[in-house]
Amino acid sequence: MENLKLDAKLSLQEPAHLYYGGAWVPPLEGKYEDTFNPGTGERIGSVATASRADVDAAVAAAKEGFEVWRDVVPLERARILKEIANLLRKHGDELAMMDAANCGNPYTEMRGDAAIAAAQMEFFAGLVTEMKGDTIPMGPERINMTLRQPMGVVARILAFNHPFMFCGGKMAAPLAAGNAVIIKPPVQAPLSSLRLAELIDGLLPKGTFNVLPGGVEAGAGLAEHPDVAKVTLIGSVPAGRAVMRSASDTVKPVLLELGGKNALIAYPDSDPKMIADAIVGGMNFGWCGQSCGSTSRAFLHVDIHDAVISHLKAAVERYKPGIPTEPETTMGAIVSRTQFDRIMDFIESAMSEGARAVTGGHAVTEGALAQGSFIAPTIFADVTPQMRIAREEIFGPVLAVRKWSDEDSMLNEVNALELGLPCAIWTRDLVMAHRTAARVEAGFVWVNEVGRHFLGAPFGGVKQSGIGREVGIGELISFTHEKNVHINLSGQ
């Protein structure tokens, strides 16, 4: 078999199979799908597509792996996870190149993703002794205590915008807690998850870590399966609802990180140039705005609105679409033609509804980019609340600027949507910052900062942006059951 066609020395062979039970397994129904390079439009190779029968087989293998892994003492689990983290760092450049070719994000950005995944693995490895119970006083001759125990088989369904970071980082907490994990990588970019399975093969008991590429059938099969103890999703709101419905049949808990239409609020005491830089940075133009955390709505006070707008073109100039695997590229490709067409439809609707393009607003097709899916970084001003770009998550490089003068009206508009992931507030007034942070309906708030995430700081949304928190000790605890044990010492 030939290796997959990528700009890196990779051992993944074509076709790429499923990985479960410590082995590479062809799909039981023989289904494979091509995966593509969105920067060039070229076919990379074919990857297995899991059916429900494959889900059943993988879950059975994961149950066997769990029965071994749960009894590995915590500090030994931590040692193995740290060894995995070292492998992630060692192969970070290779994994970054693979993601750049498969999901379209720039190679330089994906190198950071590999480092983040390794850091999350080390972070949760260091928390294995923190899954502590409590003792409850019951008087003489009685001991009452709680234990934290792993849940079993955990399924994690991943998004396409950070394929390897999500795979390497999101496997960490459930593994640290003693669970077995099944990863369902994104349909658009499954390769780095499969490569990770190759890299760590043999480090964990067979069946402890599994990778099932596939589509809706595989995701629904995992969510519905009676032997899957918990299912998690990073994805859209409709996908989250579907997972919740599927999980409800077996009353299993879910952890959901869903969509965002996030606000950046600039008060009149803010520096206009600094706000322009924050707007551009918060949109994550490097990966084409394909991020649930992008601050895609900028609310600028009337006193600084025009000055901020005047700085935006210069602030966005560093982001120029290019071939994702080239080190000098600062802005990548849209992950698929389907997503490209969806984003262009939003841009066309904004123009037809009267929004003014400050910059961008068009596809990029010159030279080497002609066969890829590229859109210029786009910022619209003169946006009204009724426009689609002000209300709907685009998941692309499109930002809507709103002008405000009345604080209550502005906050009502910020909170009017059914989404609430992060929010960024810019002001030099400490009292104003605290009051606004308390009033915005969001799960994660930056003040005079945007776009950054911090190990140990819980991340998640409110309303329909999700359920649960990640990247903190709460994520680790969420993959455990709490058991109460009562002991009568008197024997009576």
Residues comprising the chain, all counted: 492
Among 376, 386, 375, residue whose Cα is nearest residue 352: 386
Catalytic residue among 257, 393, 441, 475: 257
CA quadruple 219, 220, 224, 229: dihedral, nearest 10: 20
How far is residue 193 from each of residues 213, 415, 475, measured CA to CA in Å? 9, 36, 21
Q: How far apart are CA 159 and CA 295, in angstroms?
A: 18
Helix (H, G, I), strand (E, B) or coil at 153: strand
Q: How far apart are CA 219 and CA 239, in angstroms?
A: 10
Q: How far apart are CA 172 and CA 181, in angstroms?
A: 9
Region of residue 453 (left: phi > 0; alpha: psi -120 to 50; beta: else): beta
Among 465, 105, 409, residue whose Cα is nearest residue 261: 465
Eight-state DSSP code of residue 327? T
Q: Catalytic: 224?
A: no
Eight-state DSSP code of residue 328? T
* 260 class by beta-carbon count within 10 Å (0-12 exposed, 13-18 middle, 19+ buried): buried
Q: How far apart are CA 167 and CA 49, in angstroms?
A: 18
Q: How far apart are CA 397 and CA 399, in angstroms?
A: 7
Strand (E) positions, 212-325? 230-234, 254-257, 263-266, 297-301
CA quadruple 238, 243, 244, 249: dihedral, nearest 10: 140
Number of other CB atoms surrounding residue 438 within 10 Å: 8
The packing angle between helices 163-170 and 107-125, to 10°, is: 10
Q: Which helix (H) or strand (E) holds 241?
A: helix 237-248
The DSSP secondary structure of 43-69, one letter per residue, reads EEEEEE---HHHHHHHHHHHHHHHHHH
Strand (E) positions, 93-243? 135-136, 142-150, 153-157, 180-184, 209-211, 230-234
Catalytic residue among 292, 393, 441, 475: 292
CB 177 within 8 A of CB 127: no
Tokens of 6: 């990528």
Residue numbers annotated as active site: 257, 292
